[in-house]
Amino acid sequence: MKPTQIAQAIGLTLALATTAHAQVSGGVVKIGVLTDMSGTYSDLTGAGAVLSTQMAIDDFMAKEKPSFKIEMVSADHQNKADIAANKAREWFERDGVDTATELVTTSVALAVMKVGKEKNRLLLINGAASTPITNEQCNDVTVHYTYDTYALANGTAKAVTKQGGKSWFFLTADYAFGQALEKDASAVVTANGGKVLGSVRHPFPGTDFSSFLLQAQASGAQVIGLANAGSDTTNSIKQAAEFGITPKQSLAGLLMFITDVHSLGLKSTQGMYLTDSFYWDLNDETRAWSKRFFDKQKQMPTGIQAGQYSSVYHYLSAVKAVNSDDTQKVMAQMKKTPINDFFAKNGKIRDDGRMVHDMYLAQVKKPSESTKPWDYYNIKAVIPAAEAFQPLSQSRCPLIKK
């Protein structure tokens, strides 16, 4: 090879290397955590979700040693769709954020999904639960990772109905999430031989549930289904006890977290069934990660916080694999790569954006059964991914061709 040819070859090699490196915009991947830092859901997401995101970034940098830098920004959306959408737009247009993540509260998630689609930015939803996210409102830039109302109802409502709780009355948060949870739970109750006697919707967020609980009491239903979450759920449970509604009528917390049980105590929650995506004391792997989280947050992680770590790590792994932050390339890589970590085994992101994985039916322990701090659950059943989540044959997502 002549000297000029050698020089040309070296130049081409350097140019290709430079091009490949430059595929990650500016050599930096920016992740935006948009969550509830101060309101109803702050305990189960909030600062803990920011922490788990940073843990994922730090672990990825240490283990994978990527060629690109990773930066994180965070903001409090205050459970308001307009604030969330405006912040996401600012991040995408001005600040070069590649993905917005967490997004608790369905109204927030749906609003940000529209911005993400418009700006072609990838979204990792962990806190919001409603099934429309991967059904009527689905798009090709959104991953719904941790759980949804179908999976929650399929666990708790089925278990309680089969245990003899045949008549139900729902206390429902009056927005998209509560309505979706009530709808999915009602379908499960009916399918398993139960009957829904009625429902009442309370403002979101709420503080005084007295009039709504008295309507539930007057219904005579065996089970009062709580189609709400966070402080709405804990306040409902406290006030039901104050009014003497429990234990005469049973409560079914359709979306409860370990932080709720911790706040209320085992005496108030013993025997309750709940469905969760994660429990810190499942195995050595979950215990090891949760201990690291606890050392910094001083509470055990919720499923949302654990799922947040998993989804961010999976996203960063896909960016490295395709050497690009291009939304469609990264999404394609995420969908074709199985998820195997402490949060999920053989997890898979489907074409509708739903990440499917095993879920867990738990029953809260009696105080006498708890042997150590945060030892709150008896795992009654592992719900396989194929049973936990809505099958694609029932999907209403326009991306799914039938």
Q: Tens digits of per-residue pLDDT, 163-208? A: 999 999 999 999 999 999 999 999 999 999 999 999 999 999 888 9
Q: Is residue 10 part of a domain?
A: no
Residues 38 and 112 in one domain: yes
Specify the residue for token string 């994660």.
Answer: 278
Q: Tens digits of per-residue pLDDT, 282-314? A: 999 999 999 999 999 999 999 999 999 999 999
Pairwise pLDDT comparison (312 vs 18), residue with the higher score: 312
Identity of the residue numbered 17: A
Interval 270-284 mean pLDDT = 96
Q: Alpha carbon of 201 to those of 27, 49, 177: distances in Å?
A: 49, 29, 12
The per-residue DSSP string of 121-182 comes to -EEEE-S---GGGGTTT--TTEEE-S--HHHHHHHHHHHHHHTT--EEEEEEESSHHHHHHH
Residues 236 and 373 in one domain: yes
Specify the residue for token string 């074709």.
Answer: 336
Residue 291 sits in a domain whose CATH number is 3.40.50.2300
Paired residues of 348 in beta bridges: 356
Interval 3-25 mean pLDDT = 51
User: How far apart are alpha carbons 39 and 116 in whole angstroms?
Assistant: 24
**pLDDT of res. 401:** 85
Q: Is residue 223 part of a domain?
A: yes
Does residue 8 register a pLDDT over 90? no
**pLDDT of res. 1:** 52
Residues 321 and 373 in one domain: no
**Cis link prior to 247 (omega < 30° from 0)?**
yes
For the ranges 16-25, 108-117, 242-251, 269-278, the lowest mean pLDDT is seen at: 16-25
Does residue 126 register a pLDDT over 70? yes
CA 215 to chain centre: 31
Q: Give me the domain span that covers residue 96.
A: 27-147+283-353
Is 5 exposed, middle or buried (CB count within 10 Å of its CB: 0-12, 13-18, 19+)? exposed
3-state secondary structure at position 381: strand
Residues 214 and 253 in one domain: yes
Q: Is residue 32 part of a domain?
A: yes
Residues 186 and 312 in one domain: no
Is 83 exposed, middle or buried (CB count within 10 Å of its CB: 0-12, 13-18, 19+)? middle
**Percent of all residues in the chain with a pLDDT value above 70, rounded to a whole number:** 94
**Cis link prior to 132 (omega < 30° from 0)?**
no
Residues 256 and 376 in one domain: yes
Are 101 and 92 spatial neighbours (Cβ–Cβ below 8 Å)? no
Q: Is residue 1 part of a domain?
A: no
Residues 226 and 374 in one domain: yes
**pLDDT of res. 7:** 45
**pLDDT of res. 2:** 52
Q: Is residue 395 part of a domain?
A: no
**pLDDT of res. 108:** 97
Paired residues of 168 in beta bridges: 196, 223
Does residue 22 register a pLDDT over 80? no
With CA atoms as reference, report the closest residue to 131 among 352, 314, 348.
352
Q: Is residue 91 part of a domain?
A: yes
Contacts of 119 (CB under 8 A, 6+ apart): 89, 92, 93
Interval 30-47 mean pLDDT = 96
Residues 245 and 287 in one domain: no
Contacts of 389 (CB under 8 A, 6+ apart): 148, 150, 151, 154, 354, 356
Q: Tens digits of per-residue pLDDT, 321-365? A: 999 999 999 999 999 999 999 999 999 999 999 999 999 999 999
Q: Is residue 310 part of a domain?
A: yes
Does residue 13 register a pLDDT over 70? no
Does residue 19 register a pLDDT over 50? no
Residues 292 and 338 in one domain: yes
Residues 141 and 287 in one domain: yes
CA 236 to chain centre: 22
What total number of domains does the chain contain? 2
Q: Is residue 253 part of a domain?
A: yes
Residues 374 and 236 in one domain: yes
Contacts of 45 (CB under 8 A, 6+ apart): 35, 36, 102, 104, 126, 127, 302, 304, 305, 308
Residues 233 and 259 in one domain: yes
3-state secondary structure at position 186: helix
Does residue 233 register a pLDDT over 50? yes
Q: Judging by DSSP bridges, how do beta strands 359-364 and 273-276 pair with one another?
A: antiparallel
**pLDDT of res. 183:** 95
Does residue 10 register a pLDDT over 50? no
Does residue 18 register a pLDDT over 50? no
